[in-house]
C-alpha cells in the first residue's frame, strides 16, 4: 500500500516564505505531484518531480528526495490568493498508474 | 480548450434514491479517473478508465457504485441506492498519458445524501 503524510494546516504571513512537507512510503515510485485546490474549485497542477532535486517554477519550487521518501513545496513572496489546500500525490507504477493523494495541507496566508 | 466538466455541481438526494454523475474529459484524453473526497479526509481513488475499458476499479467501495464510459468519451458514475456515507465530493480527472504527466481535474460534483 501507500502512505502519504503532510501537515494538516499551516499559517504564514503575506510576503513570507513557507515550506510544505510531504513524506511518503510506496512501492514502485514513479513521481510525485503537487496540486493546489481553492475551496470549491478543481485541484490544479503545480509540479511533478520524478528525479531528485529542486524544480523551480516562478514563486513555487518543489523538491524531491527519493531515498528519503520526502518532498517539499516552497512558496515564496506569499500572496493572499495562495491561501488554499496543497495536495501531495504519489504516482506508483505497481499495476496501473494511479496517483494517490495525501490529505492536503490547508495554508492560510494572513496580512 | 475546454477543461474537464462535471454535472451536476451539487446534488441532494434522500437515502435509497439513485444519482448519476457525469464527467466530460478533455477531448482526446484516453485516461479518465474518478476520485471521491469525504469531508476531512483525503481524495481517494475510485477507478480508472483507459478509453472505454476499466483499467483499475479497486477503489470502488461496493456494488452500489457503477461507472461506465461508453465509446470512450464521457463517463457516468451511478450510485444506487445511495447511503448516507456516500456523501462527499466526486472528482473526475483526465490525462493524455497514464504513465507520466498531470491530471486535469473537474470542479467536482458534491453529493449530499440525507
Full DSSP string of chain A: --EEE--SEEEEETT--EEEEEEEE-SSEEEEEEEEE-TTS--EEEEEE-SSEEEEETTEEEEEETTTTEEEEEE-S--GGG-EEEEEEEEE-SSS-EEEE---EEEEEE-
Give pLDDT tens digits for A76-99.
999 999 999 999 999 876 656 788
CA atoms within 13 A on the CB side of B37: 24
pLDDT at residue number B37: 92
- Angle of CA points A71, B39, B89, to nearest 5°: 95
| Interface list for B 45-74 with A (CB within 8 A) | 45, 48, 55-56
Lowest mean pLDDT among A65-69, B72-76, B85-89, B97-101: B97-101
Give pLDDT tens digits for B38-64.
887 889 999 999 999 998 898 999 999
Check B42 against A4: CB less than 8 A apart: yes
List of chain A residues whose C-beta atoms are within 8 Å of the C-beta of residue B102: 33, 45, 48
Look at residue A54 and tell me whether its pLDDT is greater than 90: yes
| Interface list for A 13-52 with B (CB within 8 A) | 30-31, 33, 35, 40-45, 48, 50
Full DSSP string of B24-56: E--TT--EEEEEEE-TTS-EEEEEEEETTEEEE
What size, in residues, is chain A? 111
| Interface list for A 63-102 with B (CB within 8 A) | 87, 93, 95-102
pLDDT at residue number B97: 77
- Angle of CA points B69, B70, B74, to nearest 5°: 55
Check B103 against A45: CB less than 8 A apart: yes
Amino acid at each position: 500500500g501507500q502512505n502519504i503524510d503532510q501537515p494538516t494546516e499551516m499559517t504564514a504571513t503575506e510576503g513570507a516564505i513557507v515550506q510544505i512537507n510531504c513524506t511518503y512510503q510506496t512501492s514502485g515510485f514513479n513521481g510525485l505531484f503537487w496540486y493546489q485546490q481553492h475551496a470549491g474549485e478543481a485541484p490544479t497542477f503545480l509540479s511533478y518531480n520524478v528525479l531528485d532535486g529542486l524544480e523551480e517554477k516562478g514563486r513555487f519550487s518543489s523538491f524531491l528526495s527519493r531515498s528519503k521518501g520526502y518532498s517539499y513545496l516552497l512558496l515564496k513572496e506569499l500572496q493572499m490568493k495562495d491561501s488554499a489546500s496543497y495536495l501531495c500525490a504519489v504516482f506508483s507504477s505497481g499495476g496501473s498508474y494511479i496517483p494517490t493523494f495525501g490529505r492536503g495541507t490547508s495554508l492560510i496566508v494572513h496580512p | 480548450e475546454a477543461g474537464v466538466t462535471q454535472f451536476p455541481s451539487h446534488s441532494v438526494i434522500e437515502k435509497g434514491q439513485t444519482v448519476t454523475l457525469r464527467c466530460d474529459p478533455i477531448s482526446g484524453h484516453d485516461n479518465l479517473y474518478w476520485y471521491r473526497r469525504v469531508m476531512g479526509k483525503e481524495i481517494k481513488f475510485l477507478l480508472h478508465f483507459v478509453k472505454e475499458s476499466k483499467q483499475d476499479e479497486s477503489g470502488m467501495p461496493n456494488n452500489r457504485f457503477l461507472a461506465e464510459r461508453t465509446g470512450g468519451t464521457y463517463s457516468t458514475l451511478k450510485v444506487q441506492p445511495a447511503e448516507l456515507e456516500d456523501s462527499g465530493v466526486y472528482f473526475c480527472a483526465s490525462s493524455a498519458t497514464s504513465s507520466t504527466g498531470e491530471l486535469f481535474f473537474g470542479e467536482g460534483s458534491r453529493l449530499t445524501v440525507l
